[in-house]
């Protein structure tokens, strides 16, 4: 069953300049800005879908050179970031300074409290996907881990990045996977149970999911199925799958 389909252009759009009321929140040169496309309600964008299962935030963000979020606190949420383009400098209270490149991702479980700062210190735009999940308990000890999706060895298979399928541990009934595929291949995705739902987001290329054609940055949410199929239409189709308990 398809719960909703979200076209790239119908996502929320927030422009966060480094000047004016955002000056304490957004770092950078006066021309610096962050452009945030939100799949779910977040910040000023409140006109859409509230969330999906345990997911509350799914942000597709572009940081211009020098832009970033100044140091700010978090609690409880499990925050994942997936670098798509550019380099992310991540200064945080758990591992100090970390640099993530395309394919790299982190899982920061804020738990009882942590702070971080995320910057683009390079001369090209930075594109990051952010995924925020509710935790399964409040005020757990904070944790930080990182992983890497390898576009060569991880090609043409659905690779678990975090959660119950393998990869980084998540304190939640949730699984994040990624598929980087050549054209003309199809993949069954067996779900953990019919109580789980899946949010499928096309990072690059075009894919057919459960019979629906999705373009770049389009997404779809599916539920109440034992499995569904993802087919790659073009070489380099890059797809993120978030499977979550829906209750």
Partner 1 sequence: MKKYLCLGCGFHYDEALGLPEHGIAAGTLWTDIPDDWVCPDCGTPKHRFEMVEISY
Cβ distance to partner 1 smaller for residue 87 or 134: 134
CA atoms of 240 and 179, how far apart (whole Å): 7
Give the residue with the Cβ less far from partner 1, 45 or 187: 45
Shortest distance, CB of residue 44 to partner 1, whole angstroms? Answer: 10
**Are the beta carbons of 27 and 66 closer than 8 angstroms?**
yes
Least Å distance between CB 84 and partner 1? 24
Question: In angstroms, what is the minimal distance from the CB of 156 to partner 1?
Answer: 37
- The CA distance from 82 to 235, in Å, is 21
At its nearest, how many Å lie between partner 1 and the CB of residue 109? 10
Closest CA to 9 of 217, 233, 231: 217
Count of CA atoms in the C-beta half-sphere (13 A) of 177? 23
In the bound state with partner 1, the residue whose beta carbon lies nearer, of 13 and 138, is: 138
Q: Provide the residue count of the chain.
A: 247
**Residue 177: exposure state from Cβ atoms within 10 A (0-12, 13-18, ≥19):** buried
Applying CB under 8 A, the residues found at the interface with partner 1 are 41-43, 46, 56, 72-77, 110, 134-139
Which residue's CB is nearer to partner 1, number 59 or number 205? 59
Cβ at position 36, least distance to partner 1 in Å = 13
**CA dist., res. 214 & res. 71, Å (int):** 36
- Of 101, 94, 148, the closest CA to residue 122 belongs to 101
Nearer to partner 1, 111 or 205 (CB): 111
């Amino acid at each position: 069953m398809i719960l909703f389909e979200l076209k790239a252009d119908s996502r929320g759009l927030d422009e966060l300049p480094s000047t004016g009321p955002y000056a304490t929140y957004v770092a950078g040169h006066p021309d610096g800005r962050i452009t945030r496309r939100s799949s779910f309600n977040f910040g000023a964008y409140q006109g859409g879908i509230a969330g999906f299962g345990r997911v509350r935030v799914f942000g597709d963000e572009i940081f211009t050179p020098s832009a970033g979020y100044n140091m700010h606190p978090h609690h409880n949420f499990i925050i994942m970031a997936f670098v798509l383009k550019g380099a992310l400098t991540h200064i945080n209270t758990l591992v100090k300074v970390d640099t993530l490149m395309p394919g790299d991702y982190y899982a920061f479980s804020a738990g009882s409290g942590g702070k971080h700062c995320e910057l683009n210190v390079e001369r090209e735009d930075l594109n990051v996907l952010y995924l925020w999940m509710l935790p399964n308990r409040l005020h757990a000890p904070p944790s930080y881990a990182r992983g890497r999706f390898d576009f060569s060895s991880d090609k043409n298979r659905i690779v678990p990045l975090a959660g119950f399928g393998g990869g980084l541990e998540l304190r939640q009934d949730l699984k994040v996977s990624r598929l980087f595929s050549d054209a003309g291949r199809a993949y069954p995705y067996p779900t953990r149970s019919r109580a789980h739902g899946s949010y499928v987001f096309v990072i690059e290329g075009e894919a057919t999911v459960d019979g629906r054609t999705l373009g770049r940055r389009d997404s779809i949410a599916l539920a109440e199925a034992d499995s569904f199929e993802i087919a790659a239409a073009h070489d380099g189709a890059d797809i993120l799958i978030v499977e979550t308990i829906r209750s």
